Amino acid sequence: MAIRRTPPPAAVIAVALLALASIAAAEVYFEETFEYGWENRWVKSDWKKDENMAGDWNYTSGKWNGDPDDKGIQTAEDYKFYAISAEFPEFSSKNKALVLQFSVKHEQKIECGGGYVKLLSGQVDQKNFSGETPYSIMFGPDICGYTTKKVHAILSRNGTNHLIKKDVPCETDQLTHVYTLIIRPDATYTILIDNEEKQSGSIYSDWNILPPKKIRDPNATKPEDWDDKEYIPDPEDKKPEGYDDIPKEIPDPDAKKPEDWNDEEDGEWTAPTIPNPEYKGPWMPKKIKNPNYKGKWKAPMIDNPDFKDDPDIYAYSNLRYIGIELWQVKAGSLFDNILICDDPEYAKKFAEETWGKHKDAEKAAFDEAEKKREEEENKDLDSDIDDDEEVDDSETEADADADSDSDTKSESDVKEDKEQPQEDKEKPHEENEKPHDEL
């Protein structure tokens, strides 16, 4: 029996076509999957080269991957600085969204190092691109020790770099992850990891680029009748009768006069004193909730006279370069699938077709590599244990032989022992007579 399929409604088709049209209309400024010829698009900087501190890059898919033909660039040397950049046609993000996205994998189980990229404006000397080169945006994960495990989102304005005020934790495993920053014309932003939103908000509030719109009135004063005491002494509480007569210390009831105490020579004996357990300190009435409490006083908010709006706070002009500049204690960070465009939906689809396509296979390859590593470690451990047991067995046999020899002394040996002078038997070994620190 044939199955009759109902055609989708016209509205569904229209929405699908609209989505496709939107993606097709996306403006892509830079898209790098590091296929053949990538070296012609990227310039390795000579920064730190004279100091022999410039790290080199490997072109690889990594130790574990979902597709061996899907390659990126990976930091190759420990304790090195890395700087590499690529140029694209200059553009401005005014009146449009700006999307910066890339993937990074820390195969080395990174302990201290960055995994971020930089967007740069204007003219840049790529052969001298360094940590001192001004940038417009820096974005991506940074890991160092137990304290730093976050996503950097730094926006530069007028020569000043502004860090995001919110905490955005990054991924810390050894698999590939996609980091996406979206900045919109309404000055809102979104940070995603693996196509999932991790943080969002307003550039106005989450960076200190501009002075705050509102401030506390510096001329406001607390009203005289404002009661900000949350608790007050209970007026009904009275001091117990005789409270002030309780001594702080009392004679120790367990103390006894020493038997050799002489009153005439030592004076009249008195027991030593100890803290009185009945003494509770100076009397204070108990506290009760203040019925007139108005809360902690704060000056009212007013418009900040120093605030001047910048309607283009979201926009960056003359964007022209993408760069990777970082320091790594232990190398092994692999970058791939870098995208700069104006359409978040296009970026999402791009991530799904690159990272999303291979992530499951990569995870399986990683798990298999970990399994083999653990098996090798266990094999080495078993080998060490076997070696130790062989040494113990040989020592036991040697001890047994020695005991057997001592049990089967010849009669002449026994006779020699008996005939040995007693004074010689009792004389300490010469070495044992030395101080311990000289042995």
pLDDT tens-digit profile of 354-364? 999 999 999 99
Q: What pLDDT, on a 0 to 100 scale, did the predictor assign at position 145?
A: 83
243: helix, strand or coil: helix
Render pLDDT for 122-167 as a digit per residue (tens, 0 to 9).
999 999 999 999 999 999 999 988 888 999 999 999 999 999 999 9
Q: Which helix (H) or strand (E) holds 262?
A: none
**Would you list the DSSP string of 134-175?**
--SEEEEEEEETTTEEEEEEEEEETTEEEE-SS--B---SSS
Q: Which of 114-118, 370-374, 430-434 shows the lowest mean pLDDT across its residues?
A: 430-434
Q: What pLDDT, on a 0 to 100 scale, did the predictor assign at position 390?
A: 61
Model confidence at 405: pLDDT above 90: no
Q: What percent of the chain has pLDDT over 90?
A: 66
- Does the annotation list 118 as a binding residue? yes
- Does the annotation list 165 as a binding residue? no
Q: What pLDDT, on a 0 to 100 scale, did the predictor assign at position 113?
A: 85
Model confidence at 27: pLDDT above 90: yes
Q: What pLDDT, on a 0 to 100 scale, did the predictor assign at position 187?
A: 96
Residue keyed to tokens 């465009």: 341
Rg (CA), the chain: 40
Render pLDDT for 233-279 as a digit per residue (tens, 0 to 9).
999 999 998 888 899 999 999 989 898 888 888 888 888 999 999 89
Q: What pLDDT, on a 0 to 100 scale, did the predictor assign at position 388?
A: 62
Task: Give the pLDDT band of residue 428 (cuts 50, 70, 90).
Answer: very low
Q: What pLDDT, on a 0 to 100 scale, did the predictor assign at position 429?
A: 36
Q: What pLDDT, on a 0 to 100 scale, did the predictor assign at position 343?
A: 97
Q: What pLDDT, on a 0 to 100 scale, did the predictor assign at position 112?
A: 86
Q: What pLDDT, on a 0 to 100 scale, did the predictor assign at position 385?
A: 65
The residue length of the chain stands at 439
Q: Could you tell me what percentage of the chain is helix, strand and coil, using 3-state DSSP and rounding each to the nearest 5?
A: 25, 30, 45
Q: What is the mean pLDDT of residues 78-90?
A: 96
Q: What is the mean pLDDT of residues 200-227?
A: 94
Domain spanning 16-208+317-366: CATH 1.20.1740.10? no
Render pLDDT for 279-336 as a digit per residue (tens, 0 to 9).
988 999 999 999 999 999 999 999 999 999 999 999 999 999 999 999 999 999 999 9
Q: What pLDDT, on a 0 to 100 scale, did the predictor assign at position 387?
A: 63
Is the CB of residue 40 less than 8 Å from the CB of residue 94? Answer: no
Q: pTM here?
A: 0.70
Q: What is the mean pLDDT of residues 199-204?
A: 96
- Does the annotation list 116 as a binding residue? yes
Q: What pLDDT, on a 0 to 100 scale, did the predictor assign at position 423?
A: 37
Q: Residue 360: CB partners within 8 Å, gap ≥ 6?
A: 66
Is the CB of residue 57 less than 8 Å from the CB of residue 76? Answer: yes
- What gap in Å lies between CA 139 and CA 103, rounded to an integer? 12
- What gap in Å lies between CA 140 and CA 103, rounded to an integer? 9
Q: What pLDDT, on a 0 to 100 scale, did the predictor assign at position 439?
A: 31
